[in-house]
Every structure is written in structure tokens, then in C-alpha cells.
Chain A
Amino acid sequence: MVLATDDLEITCPSCKGTGEGDAAPCEKCSGKGVILTGQGNTLLHFIKKHLNE
């Protein structure tokens, strides 16, 4: 695959992907469980921009 999931987001090392912290949600990833990469953000912003054209 040209783009793997790992290229778009990585698992939050603080909550190990659960999105839950000591007093939920995980404050390191804002409860998402993942952190987007530059490529992930580029793709997300592109799709958001053109989705309703």
C-alpha cells in the first residue's frame, strides 16, 4: 500500500490508543487515542475542503 494507516496517524503513547487518561479523556491526545501525522492532516484537510463540491 502506498499510504498505510501508520503514515496517517500513530497510536497515542500516553493512553496506548484507548483515549482514556487517569481522569478521562486522555489529555495528551485530547481523547482521540491517535495523533495525526503531517500526511494525515494534509489528506484530512483536502477531503474536508472538497467533500461537498
Chain B
Amino acid sequence: MNNKPLADYIVIKAMQDGVNVIGLTRGADTRFHHSEKLDKGEVIIAQFTEHTSAIKVRGEAFIQTSHGEISSDAKK
């Protein structure tokens, strides 16, 4: 039985078209290695992995994490 806790997931729901979810690399240099475009109403469930240590959300979205919920605002 593996009792290791699962790595953290975050849930992101786009509240407008063209929300960008960008994964940043783990390690000394933090590059953008992956992106996803979400249109209004689309949801992505993303996990922090050995490759991804940070996730950036651009655009108006609703975000759930184990720490709580937060909204990101529309791009200016």
C-alpha cells in the first residue's frame, strides 16, 4: 500500500475566452515549458510534477487549490 500523499492538483476554470495556463520548469532556470489555452467555461486540472514547479494563469479565471480559492483578473 502506497501511503505517499498525491502531488497537489489545482483546478482552473476559465471565466473568459483565451485564458492562458502556463507551466514553469522546476530547477535553477524557470522557463515556460508548456501552455494551454482555455476558452470560457473550460476547466483544466493540473498537477505539480517533476517538470512543473509553478503554474501561471493569465486572464479571468477561478482557481481552486488546497490552500483555498482565488480569482485571477482579466488581462489589461
- B47 CB-CB contact with A under 8 Å: no
Chain B: number of interface residues, binned into ranges: 10 to 19
Residues of B with C-beta under 8 A to A7: 37
Asked whether A30 and B31 contact (CB < 8 A) given A13-B58, A37-B36, the answer is yes
Asked whether A6 and B31 contact (CB < 8 A) given A13-B22, A13-B58, the answer is no
What is the 8 Å Cβ interface bit string for chain A, positions 40-52, against chain B (1 contact, 0 not)?
0100000000000
Dominant SS among interface residues on chain B: strand
Q: How far is the CA of A38 from the CA of B13 in the complex (A)?
A: 17
Chain B, range 28-74, C-beta contacts under 8 Å to A: 29-37, 56, 58
Give chain A's interface residues, CB within 8 Å of chain B.
6-7, 9-10, 12-14, 27-30, 35-38, 41
